[in-house]
Amino acid sequence: NAGVTQTPKFQVLKTGQSMTLQCAQDMNHEYMSWYRQDPGMGLRLIHYSVGAGITDQGEVPNGYNVSRSTTEDFPLRLLSAAPSQTSVYFCASSYRELRGGYTFGSGTRLTVV
Amino acid sequence: AQKITQTQPGMFVQEKEAVTLDCTYDTSDPSYGLFWYKQPSSGEMIFLIYQGSYDQQNATEGRYSLNFQKARKSANLVISASQLGDSAMYFCAMRDRSGGGADGLTFGKGTHLIIQP
């Protein structure tokens, strides 16, 4: 099993550009979520989904959109990139029963110049 | 108030010693889950252990155990017989639905653990 696959691994954007970070899981997990990790801040929740067609905002949703049209995919869209969005982005998924933990992707390192 | 507090930014421990990483949490939700993750220098997030708020016993997974003190809102990670490969950042995290309800994780700021030979 591939687990959680994130693409791309690295990306440089210019201020104002838009892009989509891809996230796919093959474990039939109901829950999926996006986080950003900044130095000294731990990981912060951006958006999450409890199933196909259902999404909601986390702690830091501004500047990001998500959709969940299938169980497997949960893309994160940056509408108009800003230098403050320079970060490492992680996608994670889990079963509704949490005992197995959330499985994380390998991350996307995004730089906005 | 912070939902997850990790008070040890960094720790140095001698190899083979036991390590306790502190984590306190704050929630009004009676049903919550607590997690510990390891992040080595390579950057991936590795799930270590889970404790549910209604679990009667402390969780254990190999060399990892969770010292869960519900009344004190404490969920410390204990690593027995530390190894050089345990050197990493360690994050405590919680899933609860207080304060607006979120089905993602809230993380602490982490503890950087360095195991010395």
Residues 12-71 of A with CB under 8 A from B: 31, 33, 35, 40-45, 48, 50, 56, 58-59
Alpha-carbon distance of A66 to B117, in angstroms, equals 46
Enumerate residues 6+ apart whose C-beta is below 8 A from A61: A46, A47
Q: Which of A42, A104, A38 is nearest to B110 (CA)?
A: A42
Indicate whether A40 pLDDT > 60: yes
The pLDDT > 90 percentage for chain B reads: 89
Residues 14-53 of B with CB under 8 A from A: 33, 35, 37, 43-45, 47, 50, 52
Average pLDDT, stretch A13-38?
Answer: 97
pLDDT of residue A2: 77
Q: Which of A55, A112, A59 is nearest to B3 (CA)?
A: A59
pLDDT of residue B89: 97
A vs B: CB pairs below 8 A: 66
Region class of B105: left (phi > 0), else alpha (psi between -120 and 50), else beta: beta
Q: 3-class SS at A94?
A: strand
Confidence of residue A1 (pLDDT cuts 50, 70, 90): low
Alpha-carbon distance of A74 to A58, in angstroms, equals 15
Average pLDDT, stretch A97-104?
Answer: 90
Alpha-carbon distance of B40 to B44, in angstroms, equals 7
Indicate whether B102 pLDDT > 80: no
Q: Which is higher by pLDDT, A39 or A105?
A: A105
The tokens for A15 are 């201020």
Nearest CA in chain B to A40: B109
Average pLDDT, chain A: 95
Q: Which of A2, A10, A1, A3 is nearest to A92 (CA)?
A: A3
Contact B47 A50 (CB under 8 A): no
Option in B102, B103, B107 nearest A43 (CB) = B107
